[in-house]
Structure 1
């Protein structure tokens, strides 16, 4: 199985650092929308594809623009929600990284499915600041769920820290912030 991790396009919370990190539910910028549309050329989707999406506006907008006109499965899951990288002790989730509630997701993105396999606690707490062992447990659950789908490739629209955390786990080597994907950048990993 090939996992294709894609970072969301540029969003409003990156435009005026550090003040803009206090924004809740930041949307894509015009540049971010353009970046999401370019994904159509790099990764043309079909109705047979599955796209997993983090439960934040910017990732859901990226997937919506990229999949426009294609009736593939789009599944929102907290298994790929924002993750601080590296984990810093005693830090809290920033407002820009707080997940949306299920009801709001269904309201704003009615064509998306919610991940029924994700634990209730993960939908409410996420794993932004959890210790590495707990992240590993959640990541292994998600990867197991993906393998049960028996697909040759699975797309994952997420965040720089989350993608880097998954890459570090799957590759079995230490990574740093220098390994972050750029906006709308991607990594392919065979499992």
Structure 2
């Protein structure tokens, strides 16, 4: 199975660092919206595609713009939410990385499904941002095996730089650093 990890477009939380990291529920900037449009030519979608998305406004908007007019399956999952990389247990979750509530997503992004698998329920409130590495690898294994169980040959996963790098490190078993972060709407393909 081919996994195509895509980082969201430019978000409001990156425009005035480090102050903008305190922005709650940041949306895409105008530049981020243009970047999301560019995904249409890089990855043309069809109705048979599956996109898994982090429960954050910037990732949801990226997919909403990219998939406009295409009725493919779009599932929001807490297993793609922001993740610190590398892990620093003394750090706290930044306001820009607090998950959107399921009800808010349902009300504002009506074409998106909410991941309601039994194993994901508890992660909707705490996310994976500060999950210790040994616990993350267990969650990553369960999540990626669920992806495989969909029977899709390719799945798009729209997420965040630290989350994508965490999954990539888990899958490839290679030590990665912040230098390996994808840029805005940057992407990489990994086989699982």
> TM-score scaled by structure 2?
0.98
8 Å contact kept, 2:79–2:120: no
Q: Counterpart of 2:18?
A: 18
Q: Counterpart of 1:60?
A: 60
Q: Counterpart of 1:172?
A: 173
Q: Counterpart of 2:84?
A: 84
Alignment pair present for 1:131 and 2:132: yes
1 CA distance for matches of 2:120 and 2:71? 26
Q: Secondary structure at the match of 1:90?
A: coil
Q: 1:81 deviation in Å?
A: 0.5
Q: 1:119 deviation in Å?
A: 2.2
Q: 1:116 deviation in Å?
A: 1.3
1 CA distance for matches of 2:135 and 2:98? 19
Q: Secondary structure at the match of 1:107?
A: helix
1 CA distance for matches of 2:139 and 2:97? 18
2 CA distance for matches of 1:44 and 1:119? 29
| More off after superposition, 86-95 vs 156-165 | 86-95
Alignment pair present for 1:120 and 2:121: yes
| Structure 2, unaligned runs of 5 or more | none
Count, aligned residues: 191
| Structure 1, unaligned runs of 5 or more | none
Cα deviation digits, residues 84-116 of structure 1 (max 9, x gap)? 000012111100000000000001101100011
Q: Counterpart of 2:35?
A: 35
Query: What CA RMSD, in Å, does the superposition of the two structures yield over aligned residues?
Result: 0.7
